[in-house]
Amino acid sequence: MIKLFAWSLIAIVVAIVLSLTLGFPQDPGYLLIAFGNHAFETSLFALLVALCIFIASLRLLWMILSGLNPWRLVSAGQRLRARRKANAKRSTIQGLLSLVRGDAPSSLKWLEKGINEADASSINFIALAYVTSKNGDVDSALSWLDKGAEAYPEAVSTINTLRAEILLNANRLPQCVEVLQSLRSNSPADANLLRLLRKVYERQGDWAALEALLPALSKHKALESDALSELADNILLGKLHGTSNSDELQVIWKKAKSSQRETPRLVTDYAKQLLAAGEADIARRALEKALKKCWDAKTLLCYGELDFGLADKQLLMAEQWQRSRPGDAALQLTLARLAMRSEQWGKAREYYEATLSLQADVAGFAEYAKLMRALGENEKATAAEREALALGGRQFTLPLPRRGTN
């Protein structure tokens, strides 16, 4: 309006100046415009005033139309939306910062405030689910994820990955497997999903499913080679512990890799399972076969620790091994134990003394002390007991001679 007033004032001043300069008061002039049967006549002064009014009117109309410009309305709407987005973003950032600080109540407050904004994001729902799950409210966490998946279907993969982790931590394993299998059907090469599936199957003890997953874990490099090898060994152990039938045990063992059949912890576990299933002779031969292929102290000690009821046969076999390995302390200890089981006390004493001369072994000292005590040699027994106590460790129950027996 100020501009309109200014332009009008200028027009009036110009008109007055021209009138006075050109002498309009004495001779206003005359203008005639004829067109066909029509004619228009006026004074020059009146025409000038009319032009000024016309220009002022056009200017006023332009200003009114500019004020009602729809593009300005659109721009105002865009600025309003940008402000709402900024508010939602601010609330989300404050909520995440509170989460990092460990302030769960403040985090929930800010994230919920952000979620009420028209321009909230999937981050709000994901963060709310994470916070509530950490607080132990699993159902509320899953509810937030449901709402997030409904509001942001494009983020459903990320949302369901978090859902699987929450279900895994809550030990809701069947639901977790269902979610992960659904995700894997869309992303079969996702290493993170494969690692999560591995954890679930291990916790379930589903060795068949875990064995079927191994090729994918290897192909997509979800685990390092050492971890894959360890996982394969754990699968074999799980399958061995999952049955007490000797025939099934032998079938599982035959299907194992040759390298696994020589791995000490697997061989010894297999022998223990066979022994528990009543197959002492097969268990003994499994250990002997493993030792023939790969000489190992742990496997050898297990050969002497387990009571197969075949100590005489075992002692003969171990004495054959001794010919090529006279300085092997583990073999000497195994020979001593087998001699004890065979009730050959003299041999047992010699082998224990040979063992302890090669290596200070707590179990060897303890067992030797018991043997000496049973044979009435208390001084040697006491000295060996002191050594055993100084070293500390576990002991095995072995038969002992009756007092006075040599």
Per the model's pLDDT, the better-predicted residue between 48 and 145 turns out to be 145
Domain limit, last residue, from 309, 335, 370: 309
What is the arithmetic mean of pLDDT over 290-316? 94
Q: What is the pLDDT of residue 334?
A: 96
What is the spatial distance between Cα 252 and Cα 204, in angstroms, rounded to a whole number?
20
Query: Is the model's pLDDT at 260 over the cut of 70?
Result: yes
What is the arithmetic mean of pLDDT over 155-183? 93
Tens of pLDDT, residue by residue over 36-73, are 666 656 666 666 667 777 777 777 777 666 655 555 54
Q: What is the pLDDT of residue 40?
A: 59
Query: Is the model's pLDDT at 396 over the cut of 60?
Result: no
What is the arithmetic mean of pLDDT over 74-96? 57
Is residue 316 included in any domain, yes or no?
no
Per the model's pLDDT, the better-predicted residue between 32 and 239 turns out to be 239
Per the listing, tokens 């593009």 go with 71
Q: Does residue 329 sit in the same domain as residue 285?
A: no
Q: In which element (H, E) is residue 31 found? A: strand 31-35
| Number of independent structural domains in the chain | 3
* Full residue range of the structural domain in which residue 296 is found: 224-309
Per the listing, tokens 């009036």 go with 12
What is the spatial distance between Cα 287 and Cα 249, in angstroms, rounded to a whole number?
15
Per the model's pLDDT, the better-predicted residue between 151 and 217 turns out to be 217
Which residue in 317, 310, 311, 356 sits closest to 333, CA to CA? 356
Give the orientation angle of helix 329-341 with respect to helix 311-324, to 10 degrees. 160
Domain limit, last residue, from 275, 309, 343: 309
* Size (the chain), residues: 406
Query: Is the model's pLDDT at 345 over the cut of 70?
Result: yes
Q: Does residue 350 sit in the same domain as residue 300?
A: no
Is residue 302 included in any domain, yes or no?
yes
Q: What is the pLDDT of residue 31?
A: 55
What is the spatial distance between Cα 207 and Cα 235, in angstroms, rounded to a whole number?
6
Phi, psi of 268 (to 5 degrees): -65, -40
What is the spatial distance between Cα 144 and Cα 126, in angstroms, rounded to a whole number?
7
Q: What is the pLDDT of residue 404?
A: 55
Under DSSP, the state recorded for 359 is: -
Q: Which residues contact 182 (CB under 8 A, 6 or more apart)?
A: 160
Q: What is the pLDDT of residue 130?
A: 86
Q: What is the pLDDT of residue 301?
A: 95
Q: Does residue 290 sit in the same domain as residue 365?
A: no
Q: Is residue 39 exposed (0-12), middle (13-18) or buried (19+ Cβ within 10 Å)? A: exposed
> What is the percent of the chain with per-residue pLDDT over 70, rounded to a whole number?
72
Measured between its terminal Cα atoms, the distance across the chain in Å is 128
Domain limit, last residue, from 68, 95, 117: 68
